[in-house]
Amino acid sequence: MLEVIEQESVFDAPVGRGRKRREDVEMDITPMIDITFLLLIFFIVCSTPDQNTTFELAEARHGKGVSERESVFITISAESADPAPVYLSDGLSGDPLPDDPDEQKELIREAVEKGRLELKENVLIKADRNVAHRDVARVVKAVSLVEGAKIHLAVLESD
């Protein structure tokens, strides 16, 4: 025996009684997100940060003194803008190191190695508060070429 089941079609329902089917309308935001990321990447790649921007560092609340006998001193001055003069002394005595970065790096490395032979394991880098960070970072990078050197930073207040 074969049973036939009849199904009602949508067209058989009375006109006024049935609910209208609402189509789910969804907005695809994928292209909008893609454009946002492309713009973000564009602005990150094309922007150039301002190298001369200054910012105030928080003042140290606690500090540990460094022995002068066990330290090699390097002073960075704010006398000229670019690059800042570097002295291999405590203060601005003597002649500054040459402006050539490679020659300066080599002279700093030699001074720190000489200090290590004299059992001076600390390197105290004193920089004027108006010196750009890139100048301090350049000196720190040169000092870090000597293995075992402990780097300490100090800020000189401007007169």
Is position 120 within any domain? Answer: yes
Is position 24 within any domain? Answer: no
For residue 106, give its domain range: 71-156
Is position 25 within any domain? Answer: no
Coil vs helix vs strand at 38:
helix
Return the DSSP state at 78. Answer: -
> Model confidence over 102-148: pLDDT tens digits?
898 999 999 999 988 888 888 999 888 888 888 889 999 999 988 88
- Counted domains in the chain: 1
Is position 101 within any domain? Answer: yes
Is position 58 within any domain? Answer: no
Strand runs (DSSP E) across 53-137, as ranges? 71-76, 86-87, 122-128
Q: Is the pLDDT of residue 80 over 60?
A: yes
Helical H runs in the chain? 30-46, 101-117, 133-143
Return the DSSP state at 149. Answer: P
Question: Once rounded to an integer, what is the mean pLDDT over residues 7-24?
Answer: 58
The predicted model scores a pTM of: 0.59
Q: Measure CA of the first residue to CA of the last residue in the chain; give whole Å.
A: 110
Tell me the CATH number at 94: 3.30.420.80
- C-alpha atoms less than 13 angstroms from C-alpha of 40 in its C-beta half-sphere: 6
Is position 18 within any domain? Answer: no
> Model confidence over 61-71: pLDDT tens digits?
777 777 888 88
Is position 140 within any domain? Answer: yes
